[in-house]
Amino acid sequence: MRLTILGAAIGALLLAGCASQPQADQAKRFAFGSAAPAGYTPVSTSTTYDAGRGYGFEPGAAQGSYFSVDLPEGNYRVTVTLGDDTQPATTTIKSELRRLALENVQTAPGQKLERSFIVNVRTPQIPAANGVAAGEVKLNVPRETVSEAWAWDKRLTLELNGARPAVRTVEIKKVEVPTLFLLGDSTVSDQPGEPYNSWGQMLPRFLKPSVAVANYAQSGETYRDSLSKRRIDKILSQMKPGDTLLMQYGHNDQKQIASGKGGPFTTYKAEIKTHVEMVRARGGLPVIVSSMERRRFDPAGKIQLTLTDYAEAARQSARELNVPFIDLHAMSQTMYTALGVEGSKAAFALPAPDRLDNTHHNNYGSYVLAKAIVLGMRQAKLPVASHVVDDFAFDPARPDPVSAFAVPPSPGRKAERPAGDESNREVRVSSTGSAR
């Protein structure tokens, strides 16, 4: 795993990346295997990344699993040619910090199959643009400068995964496409390793290669943190008319009640309004998303609600400010009920064999929640919903069976529990498997 430290070291790394860049509008092409077509740079599994060459496989990870390329900040269309000359193959590709791009693409022996997806590359620096003062995002140290450094460096990283992955070529080209920005907490943010995942990481899987997802959510944070740490400023500096921002906070905002520093129908709504006004002033479309529920059942097997006030405040804000609303709070209850007391465990992270995290989701849970978000985008008739993949279908009352879920875990990437929601930590699973 690559480690990045704060201060001069990260600055030097970013400057070194800049020095090695070709013109941003030029495509970069790489070929994996014995023969490289004309115009492609040959790469083998032993080609280790270094700043001098500006590309290669990340050191310290499983060989051939994480391929990185130095690139300036922006949106990129990645086009891959998949397939093996002699063997059937199944390839899954994730980008940056485990953002699902291609899921289990199968190829027959000798087949060549081309697929494309969009990847957003970013840095902490905030340019003076769109009425936003220059500066930088106040990253959480060490989380965002070490385990989540891949989300902030001037590199595009591809995770090549699958039962038998076969990537022949990769082409990367900067593009101008609409951007779907995300703000939220740990249930939305790019989680750096297993067993945790978020719907923000799964969302790109359900979109065509005509829109970018730029995920600025962060574990443990609130609307107030978005303002003070300048995450919203970073988004606004890049926002173009027609771009969309999905905002989902609530889990950590609850802590402000106990500390006497806020509440759902006062400061929470005021901070939502501030975000809405800032986005509208740049020609963007703000969308409010209510937080999904935690997994908590009473002895009768009925869901116990823990976020009702914040979900209602989000709904009220959407109505009062006349902005689109996605009711993930309601859809999550429908999903958990359909899965049942025992079945719903399969949607949540299991950091140890006898510990279940009833707040944070695993790959399966985040996958079905991402589908709920996409359904909500369609139901709200958001313009960005026109970029949803053609074969999309989802019913929260009939979530995808966990037995059919086959997105492979990310190799060599483990993570500690995401920050925030400390009052709802893991619960012990008994020998009989019970945990409500």
Q: For residue range 225-263, what is the model confidence (pLDDT) as tens digits?
A: 999 999 999 999 999 999 999 999 999 888 888 778 889
Which residues are CB-neighbours of 103 under 8 A, at least 6 positions away?
92, 205, 407
Structure token pair of residue 283: 């020609």
Count of Cβ atoms closer than 10 Å to residue 19 Cβ: 11
Lowest mean pLDDT among 79-93, 97-111, 132-146, 406-420: 406-420
Given a contact cutoff of 8 angstroms between Cβ atoms, the answer to whether 55 and 68 are in contact is yes
Does the structure show a pLDDT above 60 at 298? yes
pLDDT more than 70, % of the chain = 90
pLDDT at 422: 60
DSSP summary character for residue 195: T
> How does residue 273 score in pLDDT terms, banded at 50, 70 and 90?
very high
The torsion angle over the Cα atoms of residues 419, 421, 422 and 428, rounded to 10 degrees, is: -100
Q: What is the mean pLDDT of residues 386-410?
A: 97
Q: What is the mean pLDDT of residues 385-392?
A: 98
Q: Quick: pLDDT tens for 90-136.
A: 999 999 999 999 999 999 999 999 999 999 999 999 999 999 999 99
pLDDT at 254: 82
Lowest mean pLDDT among 3-12, 166-175, 311-320, 360-369: 3-12
Given a contact cutoff of 8 angstroms between Cβ atoms, the answer to whether 148 and 192 are in contact is yes
pLDDT at 40: 97
Lowest mean pLDDT among 35-39, 159-163, 243-247, 335-339: 35-39
Q: What is the mean pLDDT of residues 312-319?
A: 98
Does the structure show a pLDDT above 70 at 7? no
Query: From CA 247, how far away is CA 87, in angstroms rounded?
Result: 44
Q: Which helix H or strand E contains 117, and what residues bound it? A: strand 113-121
pLDDT at 1: 40
Query: From CA 44, how far away is CA 262, in angstroms rounded?
Result: 55
pLDDT at 225: 96
Pick 434 or 422 by higher pLDDT.
422
pLDDT more than 90, % of the chain = 83
Q: Is the dihedral of CA 322, 323, 329, 335 positive or negative?
A: positive
Does the structure show a pLDDT above 80 at 165? yes
Radius of gyration of the chain (CA): 21
pLDDT at 344: 98
Q: What is the mean pLDDT of residues 269-290?
A: 98
Highest mean pLDDT among 9-23, 53-67, 91-105 belongs to 91-105
Does the structure show a pLDDT above 60 at 12? no
In whole numbers, what is the pLDDT of the chain averaged over residues?
Answer: 91
Q: Quick: pLDDT tens for 342-366.
A: 999 999 999 998 899 999 999 999 9
**Is residue 75 classed as helix, strand or coil in its secondary structure?**
strand
Which residues are CB-neighbours of 151 under 8 A, at least 6 positions away?
96, 97, 122, 144, 190, 215
> How does residue 406 score in pLDDT terms, banded at 50, 70 and 90?
very high
pLDDT at 16: 39
Pick 353 or 167 by higher pLDDT.
167
Instruction: Name the burial class of residue 238, with classes exposed (0-12), middle (13-18) and buried (19+) by CB atoms within 10 angstroms of its CB.
Output: buried
pLDDT at 161: 96
Pick 202 or 9 by higher pLDDT.
202
Nearest to 224 by CA among 176, 278, 272: 272
Q: What is the mean pLDDT of residues 300-321?
A: 97
pTM: 0.91
Q: Where are the alpha helices (DSSP H) in 322-417?
A: 328-343, 363-379
Does the structure show a pLDDT above 70 at 330? yes
Lowest mean pLDDT among 61-65, 80-84, 153-157, 293-297: 61-65
Nearest to 120 by CA among 137, 97, 149, 142: 97
Nearest to 189 by CA among 163, 222, 164: 222
Given a contact cutoff of 8 angstroms between Cβ atoms, the answer to whether 256 and 263 are in contact is yes
Lowest mean pLDDT among 18-32, 176-190, 204-218, 386-400: 18-32
pLDDT at 25: 54
pLDDT at 34: 73
CA 243 to chain centre: 17
Count of Cβ atoms closer than 10 Å to residue 273 Cβ: 16
pLDDT at 24: 45
Query: From CA 195, how far away is CA 44, in angstroms rounded?
Result: 30
Q: What is the mean pLDDT of residues 379-403?
A: 98
